[in-house]
Amino acid sequence: MNRWAKRDFDAHRVNRKKDKIAILGGGMAGLTAAWRLSEPGWQNRFDSITVYQRGWRLGGKGASSRGENGRIEEHGLHVWIGSYENAFTLIRECYAELDRATTDPEAPIRTWDQAFTPANDVGATDRWDGEWRLWLGRFTGNDELPGEPDASPADMTAVRFVERALALIIDFSVSLRAMGDTGLALSTSAEHLTPQRSLDTVQRAVLAATAAMADPQPENATAVDALNHALDAIRGTLDYERRADHRLTWTLLSLITATVRGVMADRLMTDPRGFRAVNNEDYAMWVLRHGAHPDVLEFPVLRAMYNMVFGYEKGHLERPTVAAGVGMLLVGLMFFTYKGAIFWKMTAGMGDIVMAPIYEALHRRGVHFEFFHRVDSLHLDASHQHIDAVTMGRQAWLAEGVDHYDPLMRVHGLPVFPKRPLAEQIQPRADLDGLESHFGSRDDVETRVLRRGVDFDRVVLAVSLGMVEVVAQELIADRPEWREMTEHVRTIGTQGIQIWLRPDHSALGLAAPAITTSGYIPPIDTFSSMPQTLWAEDWPKHDDPQTVAYFCGALDVHWSPTIDQTAYVDRCHQIARTEAINFLDNLVGVHLPGAVTENGFAWHLLAGVNGHRGEAALATQHLSVNVDPSDRYVLSIPGTDEYRLRPDESGYENLVLAGDWTDSGLNSGCIESAVLSGLQAANMILGHGRFHRIRGLYLP
């Protein structure tokens, strides 16, 4: 380039109008997009980055707040899997950048490893001889840490899945000898003892499958045949095995062996679609087709996987279903690639540990937050090529002299989100509690319309899928792929229960102090003991809880924008209360045997119960009924994967998409999927490739 051309180029670069970025929605996907877009030097590229958020909290389905006695109140149960590489990378970068040790030394949580604690005690509930039993599995930790700056990517391909699954088959077969009364010895270690003679057939199948892995394009006939013999042997054993603990492990062998057989028989290792090639089948039906014993349908690990993604067709609890490819991907990530621990639990609320630090760091970077802005609709320009305007309801005016809303308060020195707006920062108005709900008051202080070229140039649509049907009606009417996505990719309501109890875990009979279990009777099928959060609350000494129990599950109530919304909300809350009381009175004993009496739940053990019993006692605890369109959980139903839009597939030049409902490559409702989507959305705006600086390869 000659000097005159360079001068013209530099002048153009200096005079070029910098884009304004509008991020609609402050959930994890929107915050992740803001995080990448606002990296150092962002002001040289963009004029502004603004996050618009309904109500006063950030986090979406991951939001939490503080209620009475400073207690943590969540949308539901949140634990991070040790393979969430992108989510851990972001949060570790956030804590390092905040440098609270220097900038906020009074904060009790200053580093990421103070914010998260490893959790390797996992329970499985199983029905045996007419009674529900709890099995404790202690997973082996390792020396790795999630989100390490220079770590190699944790790709979960079909090839890697088979490699790790074969090792796990041997490992679990050895556990048949190692098992004792304390539970299953669960590990992904490659070390093993010589198995019993009854497992010789399984060993030979593993050897044949391992040998087949050396062929880059194997027909796999020998390996598949050997796996068929192994599955026959496992099936024969299960037909006469009556020892509950041994039967559990044999069923697990059947599940994993059938999965390996399916990957090889369906040639997923050489299919360019990878796991995606079988996403039109249900995972359980797929493993049955490949020789699994029928008992795997009731196997607690399989049920737990369905529970983890609230996998119920059209929300019907009697019809569990999850796409086979997504199911394998989740199993592989959970069992085969975890770092440090299979689960990591937050040491306070998710809003405290994740959302508040991200907000603080983004605010320092110069990202602007417009709280109390409800997105109502997106509008197209005349050419139908751009988002031309966004209509919003401004829910509240800031108080006189307040130039921006600061959403955080402190409990024990920790920055947290409050249960209600901080009234001193906004002008008085009615129905403050309803400002976060789609079903709340629409008595806005004004209608605000953002204009392209004035208020924004590029838009990140980071609302949840349930809200897409509400705010993107013009787009749905304009493009068939939007109609197909909203018709085929569905959501489900959820419910969460938190109870605080004065006795400690030993008195209550917990299998382990911080156990997490799933696979129990729906709808309230998942439980976690979260004692590591209690330090962050502020209970009076005479009523100080030693245990806090989190429960969650699906809420089987259909929603559409056309039904009576008030009646719908009232019905959902009544169903959730009824199910919660029934669960505590009749079913909680498998988790908390010391909290059960001959008359039902021991309500008097609750902290803060004030002498109440039954429904009145439940009202003193925390019941989260997540039926707002923005709170509904996206499903991974067979046959729907193809209808998800990628973050770069909006069809409009100035619009990218972010959320766990997009085709992010993980394609399930979880924090890692939201982070992946937010990163990809930002990469599109920045002009990078979709997977630029993204860890792991999932669904191609």
Question: Quick one: 173 and 293 in the same domain?
Answer: yes
| 75 occurs within a structural domain | no
Spatial CA neighbour of 552 closest among 580, 592, 587: 580
Beta strands per DSSP E along 457-515: 458-461, 491-501
Asked if 165 contacts 329 with a C-beta cutoff of 8 angstroms, the reply is no
The domain boundary, picked from 304, 336, 368, lies at 336
Question: Quick one: 456 and 508 in the same domain?
Answer: no
Is residue 428 reached through a cis peptide bond, with omega within 30 degrees of 0 on the bond before it?
Answer: no
What are 119's two structure tokens?
A: 């959790």
What are 559's two structure tokens?
A: 């929603």
What SS3 class is residue 34?
helix
| 133 occurs within a structural domain | no
Low-confidence stretches of the chain (pLDDT beneath 50):
1, 4-13, 177, 179-195, 197, 216
Give the pLDDT score at 13.
Answer: 47
Close Cβ partners of 202 (under 8 Å, ≥ 6 residues apart):
169, 173, 195, 230, 233, 234, 253, 257
What SS3 class is residue 306?
helix
Question: Quick one: 597 and 549 in the same domain?
Answer: yes
Give the pLDDT score at 613.
Answer: 95
> CA 123: distance to chain centroid?
19
Question: Quick one: 552 and 622 in the same domain?
Answer: yes
What's the pTM value of the predicted model, to 2 decimals? 0.93
Question: Quick one: 320 and 379 in the same domain?
Answer: no
At 147-189, the pLDDT tens digits run 998 877 667 788 888 888 888 777 666 655 454 433 443 444 3
At 611-626, the pLDDT tens digits run 999 999 999 999 999 9
| 7 occurs within a structural domain | no
Q: How far apart are CA 543 and CA 174, in angstroms?
A: 47
What are 296's two structure tokens?
A: 């795997």
Q: What is the 3-state secondary structure (H, E, C) of 236-251?
A: HHHHHCCCHHHHHHHH
Length, in residues, of the chain: 700
Question: Quick one: 251 and 164 in the same domain?
Answer: yes
Spatial CA neighbour of 335 closest among 298, 295, 308: 308
Q: How far apart are CA 99 and CA 662, in angstroms?
A: 33
Asked if 59 contacts 352 with a C-beta cutoff of 8 angstroms, the reply is no
| 15 occurs within a structural domain | no
Question: Quick one: 391 and 423 in the same domain?
Answer: yes
Domain holding 378, by residue range, is 26-66+86-109+347-488+650-686
Close Cβ partners of 62 (under 8 Å, ≥ 6 residues apart):
27, 28, 75, 78, 350, 351, 354, 355, 671
Give the chain's largest Cα–Cα span. Answer: 90
Residues β-bridged to residue 622: 498
Residues β-bridged to residue 185: 138
The domain boundary, picked from 269, 301, 336, lies at 336
Total count of domains within the chain = 3
Q: How far apart are CA 67 and CA 548, in angstroms?
A: 14
Backbone φ and ψ for 191, nearest 5 degrees, come out as: -80, 135
Question: Quick one: 165 and 303 in the same domain?
Answer: yes
Q: How many CA atoms lie within 13 A of 181 on its CB side?
A: 0
Q: What is the 3-state secondary structure (H, E, C) of 36-77?
A: HHCCCCHHHCEEEEEEEECCCCCEHHHCEEECHHHCEEECCC
Question: Quick one: 180 and 325 in the same domain?
Answer: yes
Question: Quick one: 480 and 510 in the same domain?
Answer: no
Close Cβ partners of 33 (under 8 Å, ≥ 6 residues apart):
23, 460, 462, 656, 658, 678, 679, 681, 682, 685
| 13 occurs within a structural domain | no
pLDDT, mean over the chain? 89
Q: How far apart are CA 405 and CA 687, in angstroms?
A: 32
Question: Quick one: 477 and 500 in the same domain?
Answer: no
Give the pLDDT score at 8.
Answer: 46
Asked if 467 contacts 438 with a C-beta cutoff of 8 angstroms, the reply is yes
Asked if 357 contacts 98 with a C-beta cutoff of 8 angstroms, the reply is yes
H/E run at residue 549: strand 547-555
- C-alpha torsion angle, residues 56, 530, 306, 334 (rounded to 10): 100
Question: Quick one: 410 and 483 in the same domain?
Answer: yes
Give the pLDDT score at 234.
Answer: 83
Give the pLDDT score at 484.
Answer: 98
Q: How far apart are CA 596 and CA 628, in angstroms?
A: 33
| 395 occurs within a structural domain | yes
| 674 occurs within a structural domain | yes
Task: Assign residue 103 the CATH number of its domain.
Answer: 3.50.50.60
Give the pLDDT score at 699.
Answer: 73
Instruction: List Cα–Cα distances, 544 to 69, 350, 604, 611, in angstroms.
Output: 10, 22, 14, 15
| 693 occurs within a structural domain | no
